[in-house]
Amino acid sequence: MAGHVRLLALAAFVDGQVTNLALGRVPFASSETAEGDVSKATDGDLQSQWHSRGRDLLEPRPDWRLPEHYFVEEPPASVPEWRLPSFNMMQGDYPGVLLVDLGAPSRIDNLRLYMSTDPGGFRTLKVYRSLDGLTWLLTREEKSELYCSAGVTGLHPGWPQATRYVLLEMQDRCSGFHHPGIFSVAEWQIWGSPWVQMIPFLQRSWPFCPDLRPCFAYLELEATKRACLADDACDGFSFSSERMMGGSGSGCFKTHCRGNDEVNGTEALKLPAVPLGRGSFGYWAKRRWPPPFELQHYQAAFSVQYTGSVNSI
């Protein structure tokens, strides 16, 4: 590896670091208002608040489904429509729902829910998790008066299973000053660390591994990282060397670009025995952490129910 610069040290600060994975990731909500749009649930500001619409303002939606534009890239070609089992009982905005895509499989340390100072509490909270957005597991169901008090904070333990999508379902509205048709949350935090990360590996070199798809030009770095994380076949990508730490650049997504003896450990990344290009491009590598043994054999508690036709994309 002599003769080219490695950037692993620059990324060391992210290895295993627990951060708020939901920060800045706009969730999907069962509904929202102009003043309380859903982006305020994860914007990091405890003074801003997400509000659902009142149930008297919504028509019953027995065939409610998640819109396709929710997905980071595109929905799986075989599944353009899906719904969770409890969604078939939705009437207006009941139950209330918040769903966030963390962008990559992650281990969850804890969930924190900061309640709004406005009406909008609930007594029943259900938490679902999913790795692929298609098969969901009910992680926990809690019944409590906690969230009937304005401005309180709830802390919920996480789980070790690799998770990309997290969904909150709110039921059993509180009485008293709470409006009988609104859910409201000031901030939803999901603390954890990704199982998979993109690491800046080489500054001015890149491996001659097979291209996964046609190369790209003038693509923003963060968008490039998201695209590689979303595709399991992507092992990394070359990127304009002068834009390795930010900005728009050119490059190619790479596949079959892991060392034969690599076991996806956390100690090091290895490249296959292929020639290296030098000069105009650097290389971002995908680092994968192996899930615990027991997670490789789990079975989902339930599968989603599909509605509508299935189309190819």
Q: Do 100 and 85 share a structural domain?
A: yes
Gap between the Cα atoms of 184 and 51, Å rounded: 4
Burial code (b: 16+ CB inside 10 Å, e: under 16) for 279-297 equals eebbbbbbbbbebeeeeee
Q: pTM of the entire structure?
A: 0.61
Residue 289 pLDDT class (50, 70, 90 cuts): low
Q: Percent of the chain having pLDDT more than 90?
A: 34
- Please report, for the domain that includes residue 254, its CATH number: 3.50.4
Whether residue 69 is found in the same domain as residue 185? yes
Is 33 a residue whose pLDDT tops 80? Answer: yes
Question: Any residues with CB less than 8 A from the CB of 12 and at least 6 apart, and which?
Answer: none
1 lies in a domain?
no
Q: Are residues 211 and 239 in the same domain?
A: yes
Nearest of 57, 64, 53 to residue 86 by alpha carbon: 64
- What pLDDT sits at residue 302? 28
Tell me which of 234 and 294 has the higher pLDDT: 234
* Domain ranges, residue 262: 196-290
State the total domains in the chain. 2
Could you tell me the CATH number of the domain that includes residue 138? 2.60.120.260
